[in-house]
Amino acid sequence: MSIFGFPCGFVDEIHALFAKFWWGSSNEHKKIHWHSRSHLCLPKSKGGMGFCDLKCLNSALLAKQFWQLLMGTNPLLLEVIKARYFKHTSILESHRGHDPSFTWRSVWGAKSLLMEGLGLGMGMGRIWVRSSKTQI
């Protein structure tokens, strides 16, 4: 999930399988869903079940991958991606490019999420990144 952006239809199918398992529905017997998926995805402290929303998780993991490329934690991967997609600029100024790989399209698509919610915090001699929408 941290390398490829999952199609929405695929994620919806997985959520449907979760619902069938959780509520015990089958093809012969349809049971009532007493709560919506959005309610079940709420944290337990807010009355939900703490289930993970796979669309948000996928977006957060792709943004984390972009962040790791930005920070240069994997220099070999950074050099390979840089040579192909942003040879003369930084990754923040990169463009999607012509005929990109599915991996680059997915990671580059998370750039806007990362740039929209980035903020810096300081405390106890450490600097960390916090996001207003998705925790990374």
Of 101, 68, 60, 58, nearest to 76 by C-alpha is 68
Question: Given a cut of 80, is residue 84 above it in pLDDT?
Answer: yes
pTM over 0.75: no
Question: pLDDT tens, 32-77?
Answer: 777 777 787 888 898 888 888 888 888 888 888 888 888 888 888 8
Residue 28 has pLDDT above 80, yes or no: no
pLDDT digits (tens, 9 = 90+) for 90-119: 888 888 888 888 888 888 888 888 777 665
For the chain, which residues make up each domain, given as ranges?
Answer: 8-46, 56-131
Which 3 state secondary structure label does DSSP give 104?
A: helix
Helix (H, G, I), strand (E, B) or coil at 130: strand
